[in-house]
Structures are given as structure tokens and as C-alpha cells.
Structure 1
Amino acid sequence: MGDLTGRTVVITGASSGIGLAAAVAMARRGAHVALVGRDPDRLAAAVAQVSAAGAGRTPPAYRADFTRLDDVHVLVDHLRQRYERIDVLTNNAGGVVAGAARTVDGFEPTLQSNHLAGFLLSNLLREQLRNGRIINTSSAAHTWGNLDPADVTGDLRGARKAGMWKRYGAAKQANILFAAEAARRWPDIMSASYHPGFVRSRFGAGIGVHLVTKVTPFAKTPEQGADTLVWLASTPRPQLVSGGYYEKRKLIRPNAQTDDAGLAAALWEASMTAVGF
């Protein structure tokens, strides 16, 4: 992997799992890492680990709950004040969100936390990200989804009929489509999405899903799951395909629906409307 010395990297979902493993790996490669997480205690523990990996440099940490878009706006204010330039933004926050049918913003919670919040964050940091990179954590679970842009704008008739895993699949489709459309609309930015594999982490905490990963011998470690993310952040740009979807450091094609430029454009427009642009 390439050197990251002096580069500024913002990682969401950085307090545990893939995000924390990526933060540690990038700090070891010389990056100036900023951590974003929801839980203050886990975020503080993550700061200590990343500081140790980065030769004692204490990374800034920001609390943000991506089921609240107001938190994204506050986060952006902090990041703009601190950084004129961001070299890499990793939209890694997400997972399966159980509970309320809608967020306080009126959207399906899994779609908002996995896609809309990161989409808003990326758009608000557009100037800081010039000639930088956006990397979205997606999943092979995108094949479970049947994304309808109408669901993004708050019309949840389709989303209500879908089960928990289909909603998650739709959110992972959105990660891939967002990266592909960003490559077309923002050619100066290298955007990509990737599948980390089945990883032992806090994924699904609160609904029991994380228990599965703890007892599955074939699950990857967070460090293994973060490998492609770190590779995408550090590999020289000419060796990468902007808008691509990657697994195990290789460019692969998502399923047919998710490899649809028309759907990607429709999702972008619906997402812009949803977040208030």
C-alpha cells in the first residue's frame, strides 16, 4: 500500500470495527486522521488506539449520530473550521438500524444512516475534497436490495413493505450508486465503494445480529475487512477506477440494477432533494 504521510483522512464510523481498524492502519502510514463516531466512550477509546499507532499524535474526534442530519451539519462546521483540505473522506458509518419507522428527519433509518448522511457530508465538504477521494463502505448485501428513489425522498410505501435485510440491501446499493455518480459529476475526486467481507464487529448491535459474527469462524477480523479501504485510500490514483466497486482490492461489477447509470442519476437527484439542496 502507498504512503499517507501528511494526508488528512476523515473516517466516519471510526469508534469500532472496520472504521477503527482503518484509522489505526492509516495513522501508522502517516495520515492525519479525524475520527467520527456516535458513542462517546468508544470514541475516546478509539482516540487512544489511533494515537498510539500514530506516534503519539492525538487525532481529533467528533461525535455525530447519523440518524440526525443536524448532527451532520454540526460535524461539517467543525471540519471546515479545522481543515482547508481533506484528502480522503471515508463514509463508513452505518449498519442495520432497528426501532422507529422514520428518523427525526422523516427518512427510513437504515437508508439515512448508511447513505443520506454520508451523501450530505460529502456534498457539504465538496470544496475541501477537491482532488481528493471519497470511499463508501458498501457490501455484497446490495444484491438483496431493490432501491427505489421514491423511498429516499421520504415516501416510505416501498420501504415499509421491505424487511430489515432488504432495507439494508437497498442502502448498500445506494453506497455503490453514489460513488459511481460522484465519479461522473465530480471528475476531480476519486470516488469508490467496496465490499469489506463478513466482519466480526458491532454490526447490528442492539438487534442481536452482531452475535452471529462472534461465533462464525469464517468471519474476517476488522483489520482484514479494512484492508481494501486502506488500499483505496493509499494506492496511486492512476491505478484505480473512479466510480468503481471493489472487493479484495479488485474491481468487480455489482448486480445489474446497481450497475445502472440511470438509477444512479435518479438516486442523486432524490438524495439532493431529501437533504435540502
Structure 2
Amino acid sequence: MIKKYLFKNTFLKRNLIKLYEYYRYITICLPRNLLFKVSAYCRMYGIRVGEYQKLKKLHNAYLGKSCFIIGTGPSLLNSDLEKIKGLLSFSVNSIVLSLDKTDWRPTFYGIQDSTAYNILREKIIENQFSGVFCGISTPSLTPKMQEGYIAYPLYLYDHDIQTDKHFTEFSSNAYKKVCDGYTITYSLMQIAYYMGFREIVLLGIDCDYVQGSRKNHIVEYTKTNNGNAVYLMRESYKVAREFADKHNLKIYNASRNPKLDVFEKIDLDQYLKCKNYSQEI
């Protein structure tokens, strides 16, 4: 009887859900965020810094250079990857399932979700990337660190609750914190800035998750279960755009079929032709 009443009374149901999410925010997010801030404060003053020393050594190591951040949207083509072979790049998650079809390899690889890591672990280890960035957040979300991985402190904000509004920042100091943006590409953008990159070209960032049978990744490996993911990612990318406009950071989107219109859209072939450069890893 109660369930039937709640099902019909959408106003009451919606407010009960909000009340529950507020409760979870107070009991889960607030304590976790406070602990993160204390840890970040200690780290900035030289206390308990060992975990992130590898990241700190990369500060401004690529000052003034350009890089690609490769997503795993279904519009990404292996031929696109061949075109940027030898150029500085980051990639993520299920890109490892496509590497048997191309000679291209990312300079850096990123992973911050334990579910994705558990599915892709063997392929990640098999490829022996020279640099693997691993987000450190909560015990349940953090992938298992392997020897040689580069840890970064991932600040989750309200990631554990369902929300219609997502607050985040774009961190200029990844050693202090990397702010969650509901996508690892957002984390890598902050890391790239910390490493000194001042021009970022996005590729394979379709930003168009759809529930159902349509592909959401170049190679499917898991289901997307957050129907609000696209909105939350777009809001984060808007924050990145605001930061970029104020800090001499250029971000372009060379993805083939992006729903993401936050960044200037460019053609990959024209960009490479115009640049006419070769960067050594």
C-alpha cells in the first residue's frame, strides 16, 4: 500500500529521494571531503608526501608543449590514432582493448575507477605503459596500485550521490588535488596542465552516453548506469573552459562526432597540417 502510494505521489517521492541524498552527503561526502582537505594541507607542507612524489616530479616537465587526450567514444577511429603516432598523448580506460588494431601507443595512460580497472586489468598490465596515472580516492573506488604507477589525489566532492547539479573546480595544482568531473578525461586535463602542457587537443570525446543498445565506447566493456552522466560531464567541461580562458590554456576538440560544444571544434587533419610538428616522447 505504501509503495503504491509513493509511486503515484511523485512530489513526495522526489522529496524523499532528495532527503535521502542530503543524508548521504552529510554522512559520507562531508567527512570524506574534510579528511581529503586535511591530507592535502599536510602534503603541501611536506607531511606524508611519499605517495605522490612521482607526480610532483612531473611538475612543468612539459612546459609550453601540446598534447592529445584520447577518449574512447565510438567515433574514434584507429586511423586517427595512427595520425598522431609519436606525438605526446594521454588515453584512458578501454583504449587498451583497441591497441591490437594499431601501432599507436599513448605516452600516458589513466585509470581512476576500480570497476573499469578490474575489467581491464590484464590488458593494462599486458601493455606495460611507460606512465600510468592512477586516481587515489576511496578504498572502494581506487584501482589497485601497481608498481610504477603515478598516483594522483582525486577529490570526489559529491560523486557518491545522485545530484542534478554538480560542483567542481579545475585544479591548477594536481599535487594538491585533482578535482572530479565525472570523467577521467577531466582529471587528465588537470594533470596535463600541472605537467606544463598549454595546448590540449581532445579526440574521441563524444560526450554522448545513451542508455540502451547503442555503443557508448569504441569497444564496449561495461554499461553506463548514470543517466545524468552527460550533463554532469558537460558542466565540468564548462569549468575547464572558464579556467582555460583565464590561464593561457588552449583546449580544442578534434573529435569526429562530439555532442560536446564547450571547446572550439577543429579538424584533426587540418590541425596536424597547420602545426606540421614532430614531438619526441
TM-score w.r.t. structure 2 length?
0.35
TM-score by length of 1: 0.35
| Structure with max Cα Rg | 2
More helix by share: 1
- Higher-RCO chain (CA-CA 8 Å, sequence separation at least 6): 2
